[in-house]
Structure formats: C-alpha cells, structure tokens
Copies of this chain bind each other. A is one copy, B any other.
Amino acid sequence: MRPFSIHITFLILFPLIAMTALAAPQPADLIITRAHIVTMNAAREVIEDGAIIIRDSRIVAIGSSSIAANYSAAKTIDARGDLVFPGLINTHTHASMTVFRGLGDDVPDRLRRFIFPLEKNLIDRELVYWGALHGFVEMIEGGVTTAVDMYYFEDEVARAAKLVGIRGVLGQSILNFPTPDSPVPYGGLAYAKKFAADWANDPLITPALAPHAPYSLDAEHLRLVAKASAELNLPILMHVAEMTDEISTLRREHNQTPVEYLDSLGLLTPRLVAAHCIFVTDSDIALLKARDVGIAHNMVANIKSAKGVAPGLKMHDDGLRIGLGTDGPMSGNTLDLIGQLGYVAKLHKLDRKDRNVMPALKVVEMATLGGARALHREKDLGSLEPGKLADLIILDHNSTALVPLYDVYSTLVYAASPRDVRTTVIHGRVVMEDRKILTLNPQEVREKMRSIARRINTAIAAGIR
C-alpha cells in the first residue's frame, strides 16, 4: 500500500502547493474593501459589497470584497458600506478666484465693474498660488479629482495643484490687452508656451492655452493660438457663446455666431474645451459635434448671472462630449460639483417643463464620463474599471440625507452634499481621508486667504476701480 499511498499524497498535495503559489497575494498600493461601488462602467454596474485594487496610480482590479484577499497593500481602507463613485471632473473653473468669493454679489455688470479692475490691480503670484490652493482644497473636500482651470500666472496654479495632489488641465490666459502676468499686450501666448514647456509630461498636470473669449482676442491672435495648439498638441480652454454682447458683436462684425467664427479661425478641434455655450443654435451644436469639441456646462454660474439655461441636455443627447463645471467662485461662489448636479437635473426639467428629462443617472454621467470625454481622456478617466487611473471618492453612507438609499444616482444628485465626501483618491494617492486633507494644512491656507482678503478690502476702501 505504501507506494500507492505516497502517490495519492503527491497527487493531492501537488495541486494544493501549486494553488497556494498562484494565490500568493499580489502586490498593490491601495486596497478599498466593503465599498458600495458605483462603477459607471459600460454596464453601469453597481457592486454593493465591493473592493478596488490600486497599483501604480491605476485600478488593477475591481469586484466583490472577496478579491481583496488576493492582494496585499501597504494601505487598506475599510469603507464599511460607504459609497464609492468615480472622482468628479470639474471642466471649467478659476480656482484662484476664491480670494474674491462673495465680493460684490447681486450687483450689475460685475465683470467690468468689479472683476476686471480687481484683477488688474491686485493679482500677483502670491494671490494666484494661495487662491488656487484654497480652491483645490475645496474641490478635493467636495469630491472633484480633476480640475480644468484657466487664469493668470497659471504656473502658480500648477504648483498649487501639484502640492495638493489634484489632477489639472491648466490653461494660461491669453488676451489682447495687458494682464497682471503679461504687462505687454499680446504677451499671454509667449507666457503660455513657456508654461507648457516647463510642465510637459507631468503625470498630474496637463498645461493648456486659455484664450479668454472670442471677443477679447482679435482674429489674428486667435489664429496664432490655434496654430500653437496644433504644433504643441496643447488643449485650448475658452469661454464661448456666454455673453449676449458677444453674440451681437460677432453678428455685426462677421455675420457669424461665435461657434462659426471660431471655426473659421481653426479653433474648433478635439483639443478645444468650450465653456458655457449658452447662446448656441442647433447648427452650432451640430458643428461642435462634427469638430469633436468638448463642452463645459456651468449651470449654477449661468443662472446666477441670469444668462439662461444652456442647451446642455440637447448637447448630451446629441452625443456631444459634455461635462459639468462650477466656473470660478466669483461666479458660482463655490467649487462644489455635487451641488451642481441637483441644479443641472432640476433646471433642465424646468426649462423643458418636463419632470422626466435629465434623470439622475444622466447627470452623474455628465459629471464623470462626460467630463472625461470633454477632455478626450475617457480611456483614463471617468469610470472605475481595471486599467483606468485611480481617481475616486468615498461618500459617508451614514450621512442623514443619504438615508435611506433606494437609488445611488438619485442619492448623489438630489440628496448628497459636498461635505459627505469622506475620502478622495487621485492618481492612486489618498489626498483626503476621513475629511482630513493629507497633503497640506488647510487651516494655514485659510489664514492666508483671510490676510489676502484684508488686503483686497483695504484696496477697495481706498477706491480701487
């Protein structure tokens, strides 16, 4: 019996040993378990008790919590039933303008009476840097993992984004007239090119060109921007069809809509992210789609300024690449994208006089995959799937307004607050955990903001205009 019994033992043990070898935990950097995961993958799968495995800034696996046993990582987050969504993408903002938040609200013609004079006289590197830090803290606290920003001294914004750990598509402003960072007229493009060169190939920061608007650069200047974008493969961020006088001026001077005008200058390409697009015609929308342009839909800022409801629903349903944006905090006052979701859902219902349009799922699509598509980054961003970059947020499922939970999309859109985000992961790195920002001391940033605000108040009292 011995030889036989040895043989049996070998037959039994060999596969066990082999299986053990196969099952040796694979290395990972971060494991999230016991999460209620809203994947936003093609099947819109929701995993009630799930795990996400992250290595080298990317998701390597996602499934039921049991898969966690196959991996070992330096850090594991037990989500205990909390909700995990893809990180939200803020497709249009001016983070540094947090320093002006709440200044001169509810007064006419703020842009020319307040914003431009304040910017002209007060903006410097310090203001831009600290304002951006504060804005990025607010975004991370509110579940935004990618910020598409345009401002002056955008290299300072990049420095701030890098420090706090947020993903950024950051556009250096380009205008005809002199600006705080480019005192010579037409100086912005050179500044932008240098900025783009300095920040080329950064894993987190994508430098971009930000020609302010069709009316604030002349045609030749806009052509130069288009040329630089093509040559250097840089995204273009721009305010488009936002102002009624923009429409009337271009109609009078060129007999064109802003969209037609920009197309005639070569600006409409897949590299463009056009913010607002409030006053666009059906043929403008068709043209934007044909040129594969990205759209940033900024509901709160657009209605606070009484401009109107942009046709974001039609653009989404027509298949355009459209995401959501907060605009700057002097327009929408917060950098809260979760709050935007409710506005987007409700304003389109009101606009169409139909409570069934713009359902919650569609709004979440715009805030995640839609934003990724607007940036032509849908291979990397916008959903939780193996191979994609690990940008995700964890929401407190015990927050009062999130109880009970019948539908994850409805809950995020109609009930959640930005303050319900507990933990934010960007590029595989935990930048906020249990409401604590891990990359810097936000109280220090707040104190700096108060000191800058005192300087601004002093300047206003002295009659700056």
Q: Give complex CA distance A353, B353 in Å.
A: 18
Residue-wise interface mask of A (77-106) relative to B, using a CB-CB cutoff of 8 A (1 in contact, 0 not): 000000000000000000000110111011
A141 at the interface (CB under 8 A from B): yes
Contacts A334-B401, A336-B401 aside, 9 further interface pairs with beta carbons under 8 A come to: A102-B411, A102-B415, A106-B345, A106-B359, A303-B347, A308-B350, A336-B417, A339-B342, A399-B419
Q: Across the interface, which residues of B come within 8 angstroms of A401, CB to CB?
A: 101, 138, 333-336, 418
A311: min CB distance to chain B, Å: 15
Q: Give complex CA distance A98, B305 in Å.
A: 33
Select which of B308, B345, B398, B418 is within 8 A of A417 by beta carbon.
Answer: B418
Q: Across the interface, which residues of B come within 8 angstroms of A442, CB to CB?
A: 400
A237 at the interface (CB under 8 A from B): no
Q: Across the interface, which residues of B come within 8 angstroms of A414, CB to CB?
A: 102, 105, 304, 332-334
Evaluate contact between A353 and B306: CB separation under 8 angstroms.
Answer: yes
Contacts A108-B356, A333-B415, A446-B403 given; indicate if A102 touches B410 (C-beta within 8 A).
yes
Closest to A363 in B: B106
Select which of B105, B353, B406 is within 8 A of A457 by beta carbon.
Answer: B406
Residue-wise interface mask of A (97-119) relative to B, using a CB-CB cutoff of 8 A (1 in contact, 0 not): 01101110111101000000000
A404: min CB distance to chain B, Å: 3
Closest to A446 in B: B403
A233 at the interface (CB under 8 A from B): no
Number of identical protomers: 2
Q: Across the interface, which residues of B come within 8 angstroms of A356, CB to CB?
A: 106-108
A–B Cβ pairs within 8 angstroms, 12 of them: A98-B404, A103-B407, A105-B359, A105-B414, A108-B355, A134-B400, A137-B400, A300-B346, A308-B350, A398-B446, A404-B452, A406-B453
Main secondary structure of the interface of A (DSSP, over half): helix
Contacts A300-B346, A414-B333, A419-B420 given; indicate if A355 touches B106 (C-beta within 8 A).
yes
Q: Across the interface, which residues of B come within 8 angstroms of A138, CB to CB?
A: 400-401
Contacts A403-B134, A415-B102 given; indicate if A304 touches B334 (C-beta within 8 A).
no
Residue-wise interface mask of A (111-146) relative to B, using a CB-CB cutoff of 8 A (1 in contact, 0 not): 000000000000000000000001001100100000
Interface residues on A, range: 35 or more
A48: min CB distance to chain B, Å: 13
Select which of B101, B339, B358 is within 8 A of A404 by beta carbon.
Answer: B101
Select which of B309, B335, B449 is within 8 A of A350 by beta carbon.
Answer: B309
Closest to A454 in B: B404
Contacts A304-B345, A420-B419 given; indicate if A407 touches B105 (C-beta within 8 A).
yes
A220 at the interface (CB under 8 A from B): no
- Interface residues in A342-364 by Cβ distance below 8 A to B read 342-343, 345-347, 349-350, 352-356, 358-360
Evaluate contact between B105 and A360: CB separation under 8 angstroms.
Answer: yes
Residue-wise interface mask of A (432-463) relative to B, using a CB-CB cutoff of 8 A (1 in contact, 0 not): 00000000001100100110110001000000
